[in-house]
Amino acid sequence: MIREIVENDFDNLLRLYMQLHDNPFPEKNERVLAVWNSILNDKNHHIIVAEESGVIVSSCVCVIIPNLTRGQRPYAFIENVITDENYRKMGYATACLNFAREIAKMENCYKIMLLTGSKQKSTLDFYEQAGYNHNDKTAFIQWL
């Protein structure tokens, strides 16, 4: 099942995120729960998940960003694309990205973009097969 997160998904989602850049499971303190609640209440912040037998096995974030150019049409940004290592190559991430694309279309976005830190050919090929290209824009990152 592909869907957006709900409040009780916190633990399941964060367990999946532990496979993303070797993140530790965060302490459920006031600061972390404030971030979680902020995401849940932000109409422009969508965390999409693929659920299999009650377990979140894949996810991506889609943020809709208001914009004053391009006829004031927003754009969408994809981040934190992850699939549990035991569920890869089964179409879950593609389904999450497709769900994100539908959200972007419903919000009248003029483009959807993502960044990846991966240099692996298989990962880059996956994003191209999902409809993304690396030819139109050049990304720069400044870590803070």
Q: What does DSSP assign to residue 88?
A: T
CATH topology of domain 2-129: Aminopeptidase (3.40.630)
User: Which of helix, strand or coil describes residue 5?
Assistant: coil
- Per-residue pLDDT tens listing for the chain (144 residues): 999 999 999 999 999 999 988 888 888 899 999 999 999 999 999 999 999 999 999 999 999 999 999 999 999 999 999 999 999 999 999 999 999 999 999 999 999 999 888 889 999 999 999 999 999 988 888 999
For the chain, give every domain's residue range.
Answer: 2-129
Give all strands of the β-sheet with 55-65 in edge-to-edge order. Answer: 2-4, 45-52, 55-65, 75-83, 112-114
Q: How far apart are CA 109 and CA 103, in angstroms?
A: 9
pTM of the model: 0.93
Residue 90: burial class (beta carbons within 10 Å; 0-12, 13-18, 19+): middle
